[in-house]
Amino acid sequence: MVIAVDGPAASGKGTLARKLAAHYGFAYLDTGSLYRAVGHAVTSAGHDPADEMAALAAARNLDLSKIDERAIRTAEAGAAASIVAAMPPVRAAILDLQRNFAHNPPNGLRGAVLDGRDIGTVVCPDAKAKLFVTARPEIRARRRWLELNNSGSGITEAQVLEDIRERDRRDAERAASPMKPADDAHLLDTSDLSIEAAFGAAVAIIDKALG
Beta-strand runs (E) in 22-180: 27-30, 112-116, 129-134
x/- map, 49-78, ligand DC, by CB under 6 A = -----------------------------x
Is residue 132 part of the contact set for ligand DC (CB under 6 A)? no
| Distance in Å, CB of 118 to ligand DC, minimum | 5
Q: Given the rule CB under 6 A, which of 58-66, 103-111, 114-122, 198-206 is the region that contacts ligand DC?
A: 114-122
- Give the footprint of ligand DC on residues 81-110 (CB under 6 A): 81-82, 85
| Distance in Å, CB of 59 to ligand DC, minimum | 12
Alpha-carbon span 49 to 40, nearest angstrom: 8
Helix (H, G, I), strand (E, B) or coil at 131: strand
Do 60 and 38 meet the contact criterion of CB atoms below 8 Å apart?
no
Question: Quick one: which of 19, 36, 40, 140 contacts ligand DC (CB under 6 A)?
Answer: 36
Helix (H, G, I), strand (E, B) or coil at 30: strand
Residues listed for the chain: 211
Q: For ligand DC, give the closer residue by CB, 10 or 205.
A: 10
- Angle (nearest 5°) at CA 178 between 173 and 179: 100
Residue type, 74: T
Question: Quick one: which of 12, 17, 28, 31 contacts ligand DC (CB under 6 A)?
Answer: 31
Alpha-carbon span 93 to 109, nearest angstrom: 25
Question: Quick one: which of 171, 186, 188, 198 contacts ligand DC (CB under 6 A)?
Answer: 171
Q: For ligand DC, give the closer residue by CB, 37 or 206.
A: 37
Is residue 140 part of the contact set for ligand DC (CB under 6 A)? no
Alpha-carbon span 3 to 119, nearest angstrom: 9
Q: For ligand DC, give the closer residue by CB, 76 or 157.
A: 76
**Alpha-carbon 13 to chain mean position:** 8
Q: For ligand DC, give the closer residue by CB, 172 or 204.
A: 172
Strand partners, 188: 133
Q: What is the enclosing helix (H) or strand (E) of 150?
A: helix 137-150
| Distance in Å, CB of 98 to ligand DC, minimum | 7
Is residue 118 part of the contact set for ligand DC (CB under 6 A)? yes
- Using CB under 6 A as the criterion, which residues of the chain lie in contact with ligand DC when the complex forms? 9, 31-32, 35-36, 78, 81-82, 85, 116-119, 167, 171
